[in-house]
Amino acid sequence: MSWTYTNAPDTTTAAGRRDAVRLMTGDTDNTMTPTNSDEEIAFYLSQNGNALLSSAIDCLRTLMAKWAPIPTTQVDRVGKVDAGEVYKAMQATMAQLVADASKGAMPMFGGQSIAQNQAWSALTDVPQPTFKRNQDDYPGVSL
């Protein structure tokens, strides 16, 4: 497993996308362990169609899963390493990434015209709605 960060995030190259995901997740220092490997980041980028924000969220979930079971430890001549604090910081980063991901969400109102609804209803490969207006009506019966 390799670990690389060149501090050159961009969206045009695989290395740039990897650096962008590392920057978004705070995984820019390989002396902090555990981290995500280059291969793990490449996997999430391929799973998400090179979408940086979705890949960063997936990578951060992986980092959180790696950090969660680590206990607080005392390191000689260095100080205390509190994995719980690191995990809490990752939770805050995750909340921000999820909020950023939802910024572009817009409601979509399909079938606004009767002609379009009728055209979609005639297509057998388009998922049909579970309920339709007047679906329980019987011809010739009125209430």
Burial class (CB in 10 A: 0-12, 13-18, 19+), 72: exposed
Distances (CA, A) of 95 to 98, 99, 127: 5, 6, 34
Q: Which two tokens stand for residue 97?
A: 């990434």
Instruction: Map out the domains of the chain as residue ranges.
Output: 14-102
Do residues 38 and 6 touch, judged by C-beta distance below 8 A? no
The position carrying tokens 């996997």 is 43
Its pTM stands at 0.67
pLDDT per position in the chain (143 positions), as tens? 899 999 999 999 999 999 999 999 999 988 878 899 999 999 999 999 999 999 999 999 999 999 888 887 766 677 776 778 888 889 999 999 999 988 877 776 665 788 887 887 788 887 777 777 777 777 777 66
The token duo for 50 is 């090179």
